[in-house]
Amino acid sequence: MMAAFAEIPPPDDPAALEAGRRLFAGECRFFHGAQTLDQLPPPGHPEVAFAGRSNVGKSSLLNALTGRKGLARASSEPGRTRQLNFFDLAGVLTLVDMPGYGYARASKVIKAEWQGMMFDYLRGRPTLQRVFLLLDSRIELKQADRDVIDLLDRAAVTFQIVLTKVDGLKPSALARKIADTEQLVRSHAAAFPRVQPTSSESGMGIAALRAELAAFLGLETRNGEEAARDDADGGRTGP
């Protein structure tokens, strides 16, 4: 299902950044794990899913976003974790940690099962709003990444590319990487046009990604309306 989005302000917009900060200041807790489709929790709050190759830094990014070091944990054996993990954020948004893909030692059967389950989840989940596809900025795009991009296109799910580990690149190399990724994005109808560079180590891009999530939930507008009401109430002299 292709999600419909309102116009999203740039992630460096001060109001969007504040809305993102407020959203992720809320409690975030794990509440469900599913290894098969029949184990999925009932649809509830809007969902955003995080996908990426094994060792792309997905757990580190989720922990940096939420400010909780132990929220998402990487498996001691890459490619071993094969369940969807659901986290409730502030009672308004569900973060879904998808199992890593592309581990070289995984059997063909496991890889086929991953694609089958992920496609069914992506295609059939009514509350899924967007998939954030994490790509390691330091390495070239792998065939497994291309396969997942094609999977997202076929599932007609809006996805946004998030570059990880950008602290390992010099500014000129990062600029080239962003330009190359933007060119890739333009060739896929399901891709959201903005590429978000991030580093869980330095914190680069984390506030912007929080703002992105808050903005498409409409929290920026809501917070602005609340502030306007507060200002109006503050000017009153009587009931």
- Cα angle value 91/94/95 (rounded, 5°): 135
CATH number of the domain residue 222 falls in: 3.40.50.300
Instruction: State the pLDDT at residue 28.
Output: 95
Computed on alpha carbons and rounded to an integer, the radius of gyration of the chain in Å comes to 18
Residue 6 lies in a domain: no
Residue 146 lies in a domain: yes
Residue 189 lies in a domain: yes
Instruction: State the pLDDT at residue 144.
Output: 87
- pLDDT averaged per 10 residues in sequence order, the chain, 239 residues: 45 85 94 91 94 91 90 55 88 93 61 76 92 96 90 92 96 96 94 95 95 80 44 40
- Structural domain count of the chain: 1
Instruction: State the pLDDT at residue 230.
Output: 42
Residue 68 lies in a domain: yes
Instruction: State the pLDDT at residue 119.
Output: 85
Residue 50 lies in a domain: yes
Q: Which domain holds residue 38?
A: 14-233
Instruction: State the pLDDT at residue 10.
Output: 58
Going by C-alpha positions, the residue among 75, 66, 188 that lies closest to residue 133 is 188
Instruction: State the pLDDT at residue 110.
Output: 57
Instruction: State the pLDDT at residue 101.
Output: 84
Residue 29 lies in a domain: yes
Cβ neighbour number for residue 13 with a 10 Å cutoff: 16
Question: What's the CA gap between 39 and 114, in Å, rounded?
Answer: 15
Model-wide pTM > 0.75: yes
Residue 4 lies in a domain: no
Query: How do strand 196-197 and strand 159-164 relate by DSSP bridges?
Result: parallel
Residue 2 lies in a domain: no
Question: What's the CA gap between 128 and 236, in Å, rounded?
Answer: 43
